[in-house]
Structure 1
Amino acid sequence: MRRLALATLLAATALGGAAHADILFVLNSMDPGIQVVDAATRQEVRRIPALREPHHLALSPARDVLLIADSGANEIIFVDPSTGEVRKRERVANPYNLEFSPNGKMLVVTGLRRDQVDLYDWDGQGLTLRTRLRPGDMPSHIAFRPDNRVVYVTLQGSRAIAAIDTEERRILWHMEVGREPAGIIWHNGKLLIGIMGSDHVAVVDPEGRRVERIIRVGRGAHALFPSPGGGPIYVTSRVDSRITALDPETLDVMRIYDVPGGPDCISFDREGRIWTTLRWNRQLALVDPATGAVTTSPVGRSPHGVLFQSRTVEAAARPPAR
């Protein structure tokens, strides 16, 4: 029935020229299961079986494959991002989080439970493990330097971040940044890190290896998401159940959105609206950043990763293949 519903949805959008079939991938880390949801109706149109604990996902550089990490099952699921069809499953040790390098040639995978960071080559189709490193306790989130040469990993159990040389495949240095560092992004030559065991974002100078500034955003400061087109940087705070918008130039707080339920991961739609998983409430929320309006819909237990995927469907303009 779910396949029929999705097929009906996609077929309907093809009527009358170009249209959009917008779907969301929601990773329920405690069901387990991956829901494909129609963004317009909030109804589930497909369920992708997962063995245990899917947490994070990454869209390939060519945007033609969605990689979903199932940490407890020791596998990465390769999915068609336009339909939710599973293409293959590949054995990978404890994949918790994953991030492609800016040049699209490398995938870094963190193993939170096994205290490992794996560096894979990516050829557009599959993965080849090159190096396994053990930088510290509970490696979590990932950020690349724009030149691809260095990747930074937060270590939740070590109160630190680690810098890894991707060419020499070795750990360069460690730096303490605060209790339970989680999300991390590169921004204008600095590293912005959500300090989950506290209430702030740490602004780190990676060259001088020092915390330059602390930005208070709320307890359980978790992950950071730059909005499309150079707009605000949004920070989720799971304990205080809020999303904070930071000015991308000054990093000053622009606005705070109260989003009950423990907002965790974020994805943006074509209109710049915020889709966020509510970790504690088994819900998916849609936040309008202009008005602050929040609407919710039910999903599975402990929803974590989320991806909004817009699929433009064009009416056939040429004869069918023979």
Structure 2
Amino acid sequence: MTKNRFLTGAAVAVLLGAAAGLAPAWAQTGTAPTQAAPVQAASDAARLVPAATASAVQTIPGMPPVIDARNIYSEARAGNLNPEVAKDPARVYVPNLRSNDVYVIDPTTMKVVDRFPVGKSPQHVVPSWDMRTLWATNNAEGTTEGSLTPIDLRTGKPGAPVPVDDPYNMYFTPDGRSAIVVAEARKRLDFRDPHSMQMQGSVEAPECRGINHAAFSIDGRYAIFTCEFGGMLAKVDTVNRRLIGYLKLSKGGMPQDILTAPNGRTFYVADMHADGVFIVDGDTFRETGFIPTGVGTHGIYPSRDAKFMYVANRGSHKVHGPRHSKEGSVSVIDFATNQVVKTWPIPGGGSPDMGNVSEDGKLLWLSGRFDDVVYAIDTNTGAMTIIPVGAEPHGLTVWPQPGRYSVGHTGITR
């Protein structure tokens, strides 16, 4: 175990409290229940897990219950689609940072079937909490022209952009009450109405240079954000909207994506300079281990059965390239052992970055950031299909996704 380096940015907040809960738009069924609606007991997980397990976790008000405390992704298993989501056409939405557009891929034919302009510098395509809208986060690097472009999931077409300051990334609190716009250049988290995007309040993180990716605890009471250019993590109380503190990582110094483990309390942090994944205990906010993966460790995504995580190694320590890196690869880590069990090199070199897993779990989709392509990777064999897209693809989203609700980024669902 490494030495804890917990730096208090303010007095450590006690995670008390409960914001008044709002009834979720869709919790367990395909309709909009009231907050008092009974939990649907028809899911496989609910039948297989003792009733006490589902009630053991005291979540924040309004958050859908944790069905299996051993696996927060139990409801995001293959085939568990919201009936409304099941009506949406299967598509992969790819934001291209330098060409300022979104390419749309049909995963059946592996062909680009549409493209449309969005705002300046689209970074990610983010599913809303209720899984009925995608938002392209256009952070307009170096300007004040940031915006969010809504994309209709039924038609695949964009709507009118909503002006929003510096939206590098976006998340949703697990109770569905707030969108969290990650204003990276401002070192700030803006809590907004999840539909209108009107401001609710902000959390300043002045020491968190390059704040960008996040993951939530099992009960939704806190989130941990990575500070890309500060070599540290920031822990935030999502109920009281305040900074709890910082954790300086022991080595590396360029944390990227972060993923909550199935147990909801362990966090995995990809570090592009450390070439691997840090393990962090979220509750105590301590670094507890490290898993070497490959050069330029960047994105992390769980398998549909929550047994493995897929780790994209971008192949370089540089922020901007190079193209066709021979070190580009994907590592597969076993959650149970924290060991790398497979490594898939990118044929001819590449730059795997951000993405997600298909609804059935058979394909891992990743952007090839500096190669202007998308990789569709067979999760059984590692075989890859490579599809040309726009200039500098980044945080792509695969649709549809199983699960009851989205906490944001490229479609992390529960």
TM range (shorter): 0.7 to 0.9
Task: Return the alpha-carbon distance in structure 2 between the equivalents of residues 230 and 276 of structure 1.
Answer: 18
Task: Return the alpha-carbon distance in structure 1 between the equivalents of residues 126 and 301 of structure 2.
Answer: 14
Unaligned runs of 5+ in 1: 1-17, 312-322
Match of 2:237 among 130, 148, 165: 165
Q: Deviation of residue 265 (structure 1)?
A: 1.1
Question: Which structure carries more strand by proportion?
Answer: 1
Matched ranges for 1:293-308 at <5 A: 293-308=383-398
Match of 1:183 among 252, 257, 272: 257
1:74 aligned partner: 146
Q: Deviation of residue 83 (structure 1)?
A: 2.2
1:65 aligned partner: 133
Q: Deviation of residue 40 (structure 1)?
A: 2.5
Matched ranges for 1:105-254 at <5 A: 105-122=177-194, 125-135=195-205, 136-177=208-249, 178=251, 179-187=253-261, 188=263, 189-239=265-315, 240-254=327-341
Give the aligned residue type for 2:296. G
Give the aligned length.
Answer: 292
2:10 aligned partner: none
Give the aligned residue type for 2:122. P
Using the size of structure 2 for normalisation, the TM-score is: 0.67
Distance change >3 Å, CA 168–CA 253, structure 1 → 2: same
- Deviations, residues 211-237 of structure 1 (Å, cap 9, x unaligned): 111000112111210122323111111
Q: Deviation of residue 60 (structure 1)?
A: 1.6
Task: Return the alpha-carbon distance in structure 2 between the equivalents of residues 202 and 192 of structure 1.
Answer: 6
Match of 2:163 among 84, 91, 97: 91
Q: Say which SS state the counterpart of residue 35 (structure 1) adopts.
A: strand
Q: Deviation of residue 19 (structure 1)?
A: 9.6
Q: Deviation of residue 35 (structure 1)?
A: 0.9
Using the size of structure 1 for normalisation, the TM-score is: 0.85
Give the aligned residue type for 2:167. P
Q: Say which SS state the counterpart of residue 239 (structure 2) adopts.
A: coil
> Conserved in 2, the CA contact under 8 Å of 1:288 and 1:294?
yes
Percentage identity across aligned positions? 26
Task: Return the alpha-carbon distance in structure 1 between the equivalents of residues 381 and 221 of structure 2.
Answer: 41
Q: Deviation of residue 93 (structure 1)?
A: 0.6
Q: Deviation of residue 20 (structure 1)?
A: 8.5
1:274 aligned partner: 364
Q: Say which SS state the counterpart of residue 113 (structure 1) adopts.
A: helix
Farther-moved stretch of structure 1 (135-144 vs 19-28): 19-28
Following superposition, which runs of at least 4 residues in structure 1 exceed 3 angstroms of deviation?
A: 18-21
Give the aligned residue type for 2:341. M
> Conserved in 2, the CA contact under 8 Å of 1:98 and 1:142?
no
Matched ranges for 1:3-42 at <5 A: 21-42=89-110
> Conserved in 2, the CA contact under 8 Å of 1:58 and 1:100?
no
Unaligned runs of 5+ in 2: 1-85, 316-326, 402-414
2:27 aligned partner: none
Q: Say which SS state the counterpart of residue 185 (structure 2) adopts.
A: coil
Farther-moved stretch of structure 1 (97-106 vs 281-290): 97-106
Higher RCO (C-alpha under 8 Å, 6+ residues apart): 2
Task: Return the alpha-carbon distance in structure 1 between the equivalents of residues 240 and 355 of structure 2.
Answer: 33
Q: Deviation of residue 210 (structure 1)?
A: 2.1
Q: Say which SS state the counterpart of residue 229 (structure 1) adopts.
A: coil
> Conserved in 1, the CA contact under 8 Å of 2:147 and 2:163?
yes
Give the aligned residue type for 1:52. K
